[in-house]
Amino acid sequence: MVKNGCKMSSSAITKIQTIFITAIMIVAAVAGASWYYLSTSTSQNRVKLTFWSMDTDTASMNSFNTIARSFEASYPVNITVVPVDWGVAQTKVLAAVQAGNPPDVSVAGMGWALLYMKMGALVDLDQVVQDIGGTSQFLSPSMLYENQWNGHMWGITYVSYPNILLYRKDWLATKNLTVPTTWAEFENVCQALTGNGRYAYAQPVADMNGHKAIWCWMMTDNATIFDKDNNVAFDTARTVETFDWLSNIMKNYSPPGIASYGFSEDDLAFKNGQVGIIWGYGEMLTDYAKNFPNLMPNVGVMDFPMKTQLGGQIGNENLVAFNTSDPERIKYSRMFIEFILKPENIVGTYLKNGVLEAAFPSLKSLSTSSEYSTLTAASPWNSTINYIATQIMPHETTMSMAFQGNLYAGQIEGNGILQKVMEHILVDDWTAQKAVTDGQDIFKTLVASG
C-alpha cells in the first residue's frame, strides 16, 4: 500500500488494522454496554424456576404464563409453567419430592401444604404473608387452618372455590316449589322432581370431588372427622345420620349408577335435563354463560340445606415454595408468589381470563380492589357472585378442618376416604353405621402412622 507517496510495510498495516478494530470494539462495548449485560443475563445468568399449575385449562395456563413473562421482565429469572392434572398432581409432587427434584413453586390443594411441610419439603412464606398485610388479610379462617402450622405459613391461598348447589328454576316453578333450606324440605323437593325419566339430585362420588360434596352435607349436621382437640371423632351419631340420609337421597332420587359419577357426569346430567339439582362450583356458571345461553336463565344457586347448622365445603387453591436447597431459587420463588398475588395479576389477569364466577379472591386487598369491582360488574352473574360471596362462602370450611388445621387433610383427600365410606353404602350395601365405623378405623390408622 502507498500512503503519501510512501509504501507501507505489511506489519505496519497489520498494526493499524488492529488498533482500528480495537477502537471500534471499545466504542461498541461502551455504547452497547446495557445491551451486552441484558443479553448475557438473558441467556446465561438467569435463575431457572419451574412452576407447576394444576389449573390446566387454556385460560388458566395462558394467565400463569402471562404473569410469569411479566415477572421475568423485572427480574433475572426464567420460569417454565408446567400443567399437571389435579387427578395425578399429589402423586407426582410426592414422587418429585422423594426423587429430590420438586418444582420451585406449585399450586397445592387443600391440606397439601401441611402434608409437604411434614415431609420437610417446603420453605415457609412468613415474609410473603407479612408483605401482603399479614394474616388478617385472609377472608376465611380456612385459609389459615390449611396452611399454618407451629406459627409459620407454609402456603398461601390465592383463590377459593366455594361449593354450591345449582338447580333448575323452571323445574321448581313447574311444581310450584320453593328453594329448600332444610333437609326435610330438600327431601320433599327431591321427591316431587323425580319421575318420568328425570331425577332430582346428583353429586360426584367416584372422583376426587366426591369427598368435597360429602363434607358439605356433613357440615350441615355438625358432623366432622376431627374434634376441637384434633382427635379422630368420625364415628358419631351425627356422622352416621348424615351418611344414612345422604345415601338414601342418592338411592331414591339420583340416576342409576350414581356411585360411578364424577364431576363431568354430574355436570352433563344437569346440562342434558336429566337432573334438576347438582353439587358443583361456580365455574359451571361460566360454562353456561358462554356455551349454553338457553340454559343460563333457568339456572339458580342455593346454599346447602341444613339439618342443625349452615355448612358447606370451600376449596382453597394455594401456592407453595419447595426447598430446593438453592438460596437464589428459593428467594425468587417467594418473590414470584408475592408477585402473583398482586391485584393486576390474580384479578386483572387470572380471574379476568375465564374463571371469574368460579374463583373468589382470597385476600381483602384483592376483593376490594378496583380491578375486582370492575370485573364483577361486567359479569352476567354479578348478583349470583355477590350471593355466593356474602351468603355461602362465609360459613364454609375446608374438608376435615372444621375447627383448626391438621396434618392429614391432604392424605384424606388423596386416599378418597370419605368416598370409600359412601361407596360401601351405595355399592356394597353396608349400613351407614358399619361404613362409618370402618371409616373411623381408617382415620385412626392414618393418624397412628404419623
- Give per-residue pLDDT as tens, 72-102: 999 999 999 999 999 899 999 999 999 999 9
- What type of residue sits at position 249? I
Per-chain mean pLDDT for the chain: 89
pLDDT level of residue 287 (50, 70, 90 thresholds): confident
Distance, in Å, from the CA atom of 43 to the CA atom of 85, rounded to the nearest integer, reads 31
Tell me which CATH homologous superfamily contains domain 164-312+416-448: Periplasmic binding protein-like II (3.40.190.10)
Q: Please classify residue 401 by burial: count the beta carbons closer than 10 Å to its beta carbon, then call 0-12 exposed, 13-18 middle and 19+ buried.
A: buried
**Phi, psi for residue 71 in degrees, rounded to 5:** -65, -40
Comparing 23 with 421, the larger pLDDT belongs to 421
> CB of 422 within 8 A of CB of 207?
no
pLDDT at 145 over 70: yes
- Number of C-beta neighbours around residue 387 at 10 A: 17
Give the residue from 308, 315, 314, 313 showing the smallest Cα distance to 220. Answer: 308
As given in the structure block, the three cell numbers for residue 37 are 449485560
Are 213 and 203 in contact, with CB atoms under 8 Å apart? yes
* 164-312+416-448 matches 48-149+321-354+362-378 in CATH topology: yes
pLDDT of 30 over the 60 cut: no
Can you give the pTM of this predicted structure?
Answer: 0.81
pLDDT at 36: 24
How far apart CA 206 and CA 422 sit, in angstroms, is: 10
> Grid coordinates in use for 326?
438453592
CATH of 48-149+321-354+362-378, one of 3.40.190.10, 3.10.129.10, 2.40.160.20, 3.10.310.30: 3.40.190.10
Residue 444's pLDDT band (cuts 50, 70, 90) = very high
Say if residue 359's pLDDT is above 90.
no
Q: Where are the domains of the chain?
A: 2-31, 48-149+321-354+362-378, 164-312+416-448
